[in-house]
Amino acid sequence: MSILMRVVEWFTNPAHWTGPDGIPIRLLQHVLLSAESVLIGALIALPIGIVLGHYGRFGTAAMNISNVGRAIPSFALLALSFQIFGLGDAPIIISLTALAIPPMVTNSYVAMREVDPDIKEAARGMGYRELAQVLRVELPLAVPLVMGGIRTSAVQVVATATLAALIAGGGFGRYIIDGLAQFDYTKLVAGAILVALLALATEAGLAGVERLLIPRGLRLLSSPATKRVTFKAA
């Protein structure tokens, strides 16, 4: 029987849809680990990037943090975190959060810098105070690139969370790592499909959120997709 047929059979086997090693539980673990990490990362990274971008300060640092993030292998981050903090979800979330921060800082910095100075000038002329100007004028205009950073981080976190199975974590990575260890190529490929689908769904889902957040007037403009920082960690 071909590998594809066996994979289809694996997916249709009800045993793989229940219990602690079933797809629903593994999905939940994968999504929870990733979501917590991206959320904590966003709470740290977005204020930094937005403030630096608004004032136009420390631009080199904001840009270079992504270069540094690219150079540190996500796998090493995960392994070191495990050696320092031991077993459990905490070391996984700590390393995934660290991974999530750089693209969000760089992208939100660029997003704020890209806001047309004339528009800021006009906002000031209309009597906006600084905070109101940031929240009601600059941020809405910065949404596409800020969301671009969140999407990049989220996809990389979902990808790297797969490797958490190497340090006894849950999630879809279990199927891949266990499949490799047991020479069970059916489980391996099934796990790979699930991970790939989850990454694509993350990207597409957040693209949908982005569309909802973009102000109506801005939707008519072409999105500056090429300005989104190139970042692949896993």
Partner 1 sequence: MGGRVFLDYVDPWINWDWLSSHVALLTTSLLAHLQLTVIAVAIGLAISLPVGVVAQRERFLRGPVLTLFGIFYTIPSIALFALLIPYTGLSTLTAEIGLVGYAVLILTRNVIVGLDAVPRDVIDAADGMGYRPFARLIWVELPLALPTIFAGIRIATVTTIGLITITAVIGQDSLGQLILTGLTDNFHTPLVVGTVLSVVLAFVADLSLALSQRLAVPWARAA
Q: Is 167 in the site for partner 1 (CB under 8 A)?
A: yes
Helix, strand, coil percentages, rounded to 5, for the chain = 80, 0, 20
| Nearest partner of 198 among 147, 232, 154, judged by Cα | 154
Q: In this structure, are residues 177 and 165 in contact, taking their beta carbons and an 8 Å threshold?
A: yes
Instruction: Give residue for tokens 């997003």.
Output: 111
Q: What is the contact mask toward partner 1 in residues 116 to 155, using x (rule: CB under 8 A)?
A: ---------------------------------------x
Q: Is 8 in the site for partner 1 (CB under 8 A)?
A: no
Q: In this structure, are residues 78 and 164 in contact, taking their beta carbons and an 8 Å threshold?
A: yes
Q: Is 101 in the site for partner 1 (CB under 8 A)?
A: no
Q: Which of 48, 137, 176, 206 lies at the binding interface for partner 1 (CB under 8 A)?
A: 176
Q: Is 182 in the site for partner 1 (CB under 8 A)?
A: no
Q: Is 191 in the site for partner 1 (CB under 8 A)?
A: yes
What's the Cα-to-Cα distance from 205 to each of 31, 147, 151, 162, 231, rounded to whole Å?
Answer: 13, 11, 9, 19, 19
Q: Which of 37, 74, 106, 108 lies at the binding interface for partner 1 (CB under 8 A)?
A: 74
Q: Is 184 in the site for partner 1 (CB under 8 A)?
A: no
| Nearest partner of 37 among 164, 207, 225, 144, judged by Cα | 164
Instruction: Give residue for tokens 């990274």.
Output: 45
Secondary structure letter of residue 33 according to DSSP? H
Q: In this structure, are residues 79 and 164 in contact, taking their beta carbons and an 8 Å threshold?
A: no
> Minimum Å distance from CB 174 to partner 1?
12
Tokens describing residue 8: 């289809």
By rule CB under 8 A, what count of residues binds partner 1?
43
Q: Which of 41, 82, 107, 123 lies at the binding interface for partner 1 (CB under 8 A)?
A: 82
Q: Is 1 in the site for partner 1 (CB under 8 A)?
A: no
Q: Which residues bind partner 1 (CB under 8 A)?
A: 3, 67, 70-76, 79-80, 82-83, 155, 158-160, 162-163, 166-167, 173, 176-177, 179-180, 185, 188-189, 191-193, 195-196, 199-200, 203, 226, 230-234
